[in-house]
Amino acid sequence: MTDRFDVIVAGAGPAGAQCARDLATRGYDVVVLETEPEDEFPRQSNKSTAGTFPSMMSAFGVPDDVVMQYTDSVVLESPTDHFVQHQPGAVLEFADFKRWLVADGREEGAEYWFDARVSKPVTEDGEIIGVEYGGGQEVYADIVVDATGPAAPLAKKLDVVDLERKHQAIGIEYELEGIDIDAEGYADLHDAMMLRLDHDIAPGGYSWIFHTGEDTAKVGLCYIQNDAHRDYAKDGMGIDDYLQYWLDTDPRFADAERIAGKVHRGSAHIQMPDGLSTDNFMAVGDTVPTIDPLWGEGIHKGMKSGRAAAMTADRCFMPDDPDTSAEAMSIYDELWHSEVAPKMRTRLLMTQLLYLARNERYDTLMADLKRMDYDSLSDANSGSLRDIAKLLHAGDLPLLARFARERLAE
């Protein structure tokens, strides 16, 4: 077994596996080191609801057989109202999707080593030249990519990222059957991905029901463990308690039962990245973090970042005299800011504002969304300040003042 590659990717999630797939397609020697054993893969890393949209499916050639359910609409719910937006999408079976990425990468020539937990960088003159894995073994490459999600063992030790606990979002979901998908007084959730803003259920975050066919759905919630969460939290309740509370109190779940073994949980950091690359090194996906702060779309963003890292590596290797210096790798940073997560700062501000707002404000938001045209909505969602302003009211001044105070205090 060789111990030298063009590129080592740590982590076989969507970001790392896509990076390896692109590099192998271009003919590079690439190995992916994944901590989980192959016969159980993905186990703990099978964490995602995996709702996604046609732009991701077509950009990365995702096949039908990893789709649990195609959806037609996105529904936003507040405590007493809802808003329906026609928007085609797909809810993937995340485990099948991950296994398909591995199989497809292998077909292109990528190597996968499972049961290979990466623990730290191997460095020479301060630069990474390989990784230590599996408790003492080493493997070397010209470029190393950290795609281990929030674990980030390489990016942290190289001081490329500083993932802060105060910016950590946690999420949990169950797969349920026996749900009333079209209940009286609620939106019809057949073929829909529904996101609910309601601090009673998800303090400082949101909850969701993603229809997966007949009377089944993925049902979960997430929140950032920040001041907004503490303001609205109920004493002594953890995230599992909130999900149980929702299941116990929402009439749509009165006859619902959990499908055995179908629980997914994980975390991601909702913050501006400090850095993205250094000499011979790039960090992709949730390691950076790349996840969209507002609605937690991490799969498409992560895969885009994996592709941007593969493009950068290709560019660095292409000259007769390859250059993998920090300066050459900084092309990745430019691609990340322009193509992968443009307007990240504005979306972070929108996120903080949205999750600070009170429950009553969410009801007004639904009314505002109903009167806005599709283009303005889509531009507001993409971070257009002019269109975001259309959603603000005079009554939001105290909220904005509190937000400004908190920002100044940071």
Ligand X SMILES: Cc1cc2nc3c(=O)[nH]c(=O)nc-3n(C[C@H](O)[C@H](O)[C@H](O)COP(=O)(O)OP(=O)(O)OC[C@H]3O[C@@H](n4cnc5c(N)ncnc54)[C@H](O)[C@@H]3O)c2cc1C
**Does 256 participate in binding ligand X (rule CB under 6 A)?**
no
> Which tokens is 354 given?
């949205």
Among residues 6, 34, 104, 175, which is the contact residue for ligand X, using CB under 6 A?
34
In angstroms, give the least distance from the CB of 20 to ligand X.
11
Q: Coil, strand, or helix at residue 279?
A: coil
**Does 52 participate in binding ligand X (rule CB under 6 A)?**
yes
Restricting to residues 331-350, which ones interact with ligand X according to CB under 6 A? none
**Does 171 participate in binding ligand X (rule CB under 6 A)?**
yes
Q: Output 319-323 pairs: Cβ under 8 A, ≥24 positions apart.
A: 322/142
Give the Cα separation of 109 and 136 in Å (integer). Answer: 26
Give the Cα separation of 224 and 206 in Å (integer). Answer: 10
For ligand X, the closer CB: 170 or 399:
170
Report the relative pairing of strands 118-124 and 111-113 from DSSP bridges: unpaired
Among residues 24, 118, 160, 276, which is the contact residue for ligand X, using CB under 6 A?
118
For ligand X, the closer CB: 43 or 393:
43
For ligand X, the closer CB: 120 or 390:
120
**Does 147 participate in binding ligand X (rule CB under 6 A)?**
yes
Stretch near ligand X under the rule CB under 6 A, chosen from 235-243, 254-262, 296-304, 333-341: 296-304
Give the Cα separation of 308 and 299 in Å (integer). Answer: 14
**Does 33 participate in binding ligand X (rule CB under 6 A)?**
yes
**Does 173 participate in binding ligand X (rule CB under 6 A)?**
yes
Q: Are 134 and 153 in contact (CB under 8 A)?
A: no
Concatenated DSSP letters of 358-387: -HHHHHHHHHHHHHS-HHHHHHHHTT-HHH
**Does 269 participate in binding ligand X (rule CB under 6 A)?**
no
**Does 115 participate in binding ligand X (rule CB under 6 A)?**
no
Give the Cα separation of 269 and 215 in Å (integer). Answer: 33
State the binding string over 148-167 for ligand X (x if CB under 6 A, else -).
xx-x-x--------------
Q: Are 8 and 90 in contact (CB under 8 A)?
A: no
Among residues 5, 16, 113, 204, which is the contact residue for ligand X, using CB under 6 A?
16
Q: At what angle do helices 94-108 and 14-25 cross, to 10 degrees?
A: 20
Among residues 121, 302, 332, 340, which is the contact residue for ligand X, using CB under 6 A?
302
Among residues 11, 121, 203, 273, which is the contact residue for ligand X, using CB under 6 A?
11
Q: Is the CA virtual torsion 392, 398, 401, 405 positive or negative? A: negative
The residue whose Cβ lies closest to ligand X is 298
Site for ligand X, rule CB under 6 A: 10-16, 33-36, 42, 45, 47-52, 117-118, 147-149, 151, 153, 171, 173, 220, 264-266, 268, 285-286, 291, 296-300, 302
